[in-house]
Amino acid sequence: MEHNSSFSPHQFQPEPTMHWKVLTPFSPGTEVGWIPAHIRDPNLTFEVIPSDYDHDRSRRLSGLREWIDYARHAIRAWFKKPSGSDAPIGYLTSFPQLPICLALIKRVTFSNVPIVAWCFNLGSTYGGVKGVLARFASKAIDIFVVHSTAEIEIYSKWLRLPRDKFIYVPLSVAMKPLPAVSQAADRFVLALGTANRDYDGLVKALTPLGYRTIIIAGPKAMQNLDLPAFVEHKSGLPLEECHKLSRAADLIVISLKDVEAASGQVSFLETMMFGRPVIVTRAPGTVDYIEDGKTGMLVEPGDVEGLRSAIAKLWNDEDLRLRLGNAARTSVENSSTFKAVAPKMRQVLNSFAEG
């Protein structure tokens, strides 16, 4: 029996069953990056709708100018025809503002297109007209991906939505190799980040110790602080310089103010991935990532004496710093990288695909 020599293996390649438009405020180009770059699934295709604005992730609240930028981005995405795909469309977003803008469009157009809100982290909930609009829009969001288990309860109550619309997935970072470290002139403690930081408490904890300290933060986080001579404030550093200082520091402190909100994760994950020991305030955004005494140290909120004791303990124990730092890097590599969380994103997105 003769076989058809015109057979092509491509004719049995499955057609995509879902085409996802990807909207993030940190994607100015059309190249698929972020977590979708690590998904290899013939059922799923991705198209990035580029951002054309600056996104300040340290800003606690978005102003009118920022909301206009997010709304423009959402409108462009909504009305842009997919490139080369006839598959059903969905929207995959990062940060809360974009899915809220898309959801408002979805509600007023009576659409049923799915919206997956990845990295839905508000920092704090709010009332008034903004709260009413958020609840109105959020009913059109199909899945909320949050990065602390506590946020499931917080947001489901605030938005008055079922808990099963929220799932916890660890926040992810782009894993980087360990850079070469030049020998620092002096040992130092590093603290970094702007949003929700308790630098007043940190300075009080450090003052009796006198350890050289570098704080990398925006000016608004340092307002009304009288810094002692051993504390140096740096602002506006490029990310590469922040990473260099993170790798060179003896230890990193992320001291938080409002423990009702999830914050600080990016800062401590990006230092843990360089194998540095961290001291972090116990809060909703930290307890899912730091195992006290194993991958870092947790201190109680507002406990200046406890923070001082933890800093002194790590400063004076090289073996402990090495053990916690190595465990921290392993923890990030195993659970908090784009590659590590890609299977969970694939599972979420495939739940909307037509079989």
Same domain? For 102 and 223 the reply is no
pLDDT of residue 181: 59
* Pairing, β 115-118 against β 297-299: unpaired
Same domain? For 99 and 166 the reply is yes
pLDDT of residue 3: 41
Residue numbers of the domain that contains 310: 189-335
> Over the range 51-61, which residues count as b (16 or more CB within 10 Å of their CB) and which as e?
beeebeebeee
DSSP string computed for 139-183: TT--EEEESSHHHHHHHHHHHT--GGGEEE----B---PPPP-PP
Backbone φ and ψ for 299, nearest 5 degrees, come out as: -120, 150
**SS3 at position 244:** helix
Note whether residue 3 is domain-resident: no
Question: CB of 70 within 8 A of CB of 9?
Answer: no
Note whether residue 318 is domain-resident: yes
Work out the end-to-end distance of the chain between its first and last CA atoms, rounded to an integer number of angstroms. 35
List the CATH number of the domain containing 326.
3.40.50.2000
Same domain? For 40 and 147 the reply is yes
Beta bridge partner(s), residue 40: none
Note whether residue 184 is domain-resident: no
pLDDT of residue 87: 84
Residues in the chain: 355
Same domain? For 48 and 138 the reply is yes
Q: pLDDT tens digits for the chain (355 residues)?
A: 444 444 344 444 456 689 999 999 999 999 999 999 999 899 999 999 999 988 665 555 567 888 999 999 999 999 998 776 678 999 999 999 999 999 999 999 999 999 999 999 876 777 788 888 889 999 999 999 999 999 999 999 999 999 999 999 999 999 888 766 555 568 999 999 998 899 999 999 999 999 999 999 999 899 889 999 999 999 999 989 999 999 999 999 999 987 777 788 999 999 999 999 999 999 988 999 999 999 999 999 999 999 999 999 999 999 999 999 999 999 999 999 999 999 999 999 999 975 4
Between CA 77 and CA 100 the distance in angstroms is 13
Same domain? For 327 and 193 the reply is yes
pLDDT of residue 355: 47
Note whether residue 181 is domain-resident: no
Question: CB of 215 within 8 A of CB of 233?
Answer: yes
The pTM score is 0.85
